[in-house]
Amino acid sequence: MTLKPPPLRDDCFALPAGVNWTPVDEALVLLRDRLAPVTGIETLPLGQAVGRVLASDVVARRSNPPQPNTAVDGYGFAGPAPQGAQVMDLVEGRAAAGVPFIGEVPPGKAIRILTGAALPEGVDTVILEEDVSTNGQQIAFHGPLKQGANTRRAGEDVAQGDVILPAGRVITPADLALAAATGIAELPVRKALRVGVLSTGDELREAGEAAGLGQIYDANRPMLLGLLGQMGVTPVDLGRVGDDRSDLRRLFDAAAGQVDIILTSGGASAGDEDHVSALLRETGAMQEWRIALKPGRPLALGLWQGVPVFGLPGNPVAALVCTLIFARPAMGVLAGAGWKDPQGFEVPAAFEKRKKPGRREYLRARIREGRAEVFKSEGSGRISGLSWAEGLVELGDDAAHIRLGDPVRFLPYGSFSL
Ligand code: AMP
Ligand code: MG
């Protein structure tokens, strides 16, 4: 029997018949619903908490401001002051920030008061020093002045007992100011998510090593480790492994005790040398996700001794896109920060493109003069385009004809943090 090639068909580049390609949004919902936080909890002083995920709601111990105070330098008295020229005797002494006036200011009298000072008893209103003339014994100014003018009420910013920061929040420097101001010195936070990164493929060599015919340098590992560091998780370098199932098994076994999630690249399809998917399938806890997106071949998702494994495609462009679009929000859930969609925005296209229906597409893009430019080639091996780009343009699942100036959704690389 002679072997005949299968007939070519009109739709030979279409998606394989009989295979269900999961739309990106459906895949994302599945991920969101199936994952849960896995990180432990510890208490850290404010100085070590930036970038960590809050483990529980934080409640103000003290109001801000804690007591009524003055927002300006001036003179305080009991308001309001009526219309017209006002003259008031000054009491002796003054109120300054941190040095309160002890005693009561009698009605009709005023006291020298400086920004941030607690209002003395008998004072609820402050006139700006620029609006006053004084001889040291008395002040004179023009009314009217509303009661409470130029003062801050106790708790007008935050009341004691208010929730100031919700569980799941990634702590910012401004949050530290809020926590400190409301009497909090340490925060309950989740331990950082440990993310293992492993490259697979017989062809891979380490950057800097000699590389011969058929060999290429491992580009994914430094990229993914760097990306994870920026995202606020703890990258763990699991190294490189050839296309060898028992080596891969050993590495997975060792990694399972060390990390909370494993990202592999390469070997995730269904080919002879695709050992990541084969090994995960052996354990029975593997799902091959044929996700309708470009760039990106099937994503192999599995559990190894309870640790989620994301088998990313080997092509660096596809590996990065799949990490940003799928692994990153999944890591947010595992880390306790919850599911977050990247913050994109619409900009006019500086390109023209026809797109077929069926797959979501992510193009390497950047903004210049308010428009989204895309890289000259969509080849998924073009690493230079990843570096050229400053984000991705997302094109929806449907067919589209994008013309110059049409709005497109731009997702800056910087919007993909936890
Ligand atoms: P695979 O998914 O293993 O079939 O790999 C797809 C393509 O990506 C092949 O051309 C691989 O040589 C390439 N590739 C796989 N892993 C890496 C890596 N770590 N760095 C650069 N290229 C890679
Ligand atoms: Mg490979």
Ligand 1 pocket residue status of 264, Cβ below 6 Å: no
Asked if residue 275 lies in contact with residue 244, where contact means CB atoms within 8 angstroms, the answer is: yes
The secondary structure element, H or E, covering residue 69 is strand 69-70
Which ligand has an atom closest to residue 379 CA? 1
Distance 157 CA to ligand 2 centre (A): 57
Which ligand has an atom closest to residue 243 CA? 2
Question: For the segment 109-146, what is each residue's pLDDT rounded down to a tens digit?
Answer: 999 999 999 999 999 999 999 999 999 999 999 999 99
* Average pLDDT score over residue span 325-334: 95
Asked if residue 132 lies in contact with residue 90, where contact means CB atoms within 8 angstroms, the answer is: no
Distance 373 CA to ligand 2 centre (A): 31
* Average pLDDT score over residue span 360-384: 95
> What pLDDT sits at residue 11?
40
Question: Which range, of 32-36, 63-67, 95-99, averages the lowest pLDDT?
Answer: 32-36
Q: Which atom of ligand 1 is nearest to the CA of 200?
A: 16
Distance 67 CA to ligand 2 centre (A): 65
Answer whether CATH 1.20.1260.10 is correct for domain 345-416.
no
Q: Would you call the peptide bond into 65 cis, given omega within 30 degrees of 0 as the criterion?
A: yes
Domain locations along the chain: 21-40+191-335, 43-64+156-190, 69-152, 345-416
Q: What count of other Cβ atoms lies within 10 Å of the Cβ of residue 31?
A: 20
Distance 325 CA to ligand 1 centre (A): 19
> What pLDDT sits at residue 398?
93
Which ligand has an atom closest to residue 199 CA? 1
Ligand 1 pocket residue status of 201, Cβ below 6 Å: yes
Tokens of 187: 């925060």
Distance 92 CA to ligand 2 centre (A): 84
Residue by residue, DSSP assigns 120-159 as PBT--EEEEGGG-EE-SSEEEEEEEE-TTTTEE-TTSSB-
Q: Which atom of ligand 1 is nearest to the CA of 203?
A: 12
Distance 380 CA to ligand 1 centre (A): 10
Task: Give the homologous superfamily in CATH for domain 69-152.
Answer: Molybdopterin biosynthesis moea protein, domain 3. (2.170.190.11)
CA 263 to CA 274: how far, in whole Å? 15
Ligand 1 pocket residue status of 331, Cβ below 6 Å: no
Atom 10 of ligand 1 has which residue's CA nearest to it?
315
* Average pLDDT score over residue span 209-225: 97
Domain 21-40+191-335: which CATH number of 3.40.720.10, 3.30.70.380, 3.40.980.10, 3.40.50.720:
3.40.980.10
The secondary structure element, H or E, covering residue 225 is helix 220-231
Q: Which atom of ligand 1 is nearest to the CA of 315?
A: 8
Ligand 1 pocket residue status of 218, Cβ below 6 Å: yes
Q: Give residue 243's region: left, alpha or beta (phi > 0; psi -120 to 50).
A: beta
Tokens of 343: 């913050």
Distance 290 CA to ligand 1 centre (A): 18
Percent of the chain with pLDDT over 90: 80
Q: In which band, very low, low, confident or very high, does the pLDDT at 19 lie, cut at 50, 70 and 90?
A: low
Ligand 1 pocket residue status of 315, Cβ below 6 Å: yes
Name, in order, each residue with C-beta under 8 angstroms of 268's C-beta and a sequence gap of 6 or more: 274, 276, 277, 297, 298, 299, 300, 311, 312, 313, 314
Percent of the chain with pLDDT over 70: 94
Ligand 1 pocket residue status of 380, Cβ below 6 Å: no
Fold of 43-64+156-190: Molybdopterin biosynthesis moea protein, domain 2 (3.90.105)
Which ligand has an atom closest to residue 218 CA? 1
* Average pLDDT score over residue span 61-69: 97
Residue 282 has pLDDT above 70, yes or no: yes
Average pLDDT, the chain: 92
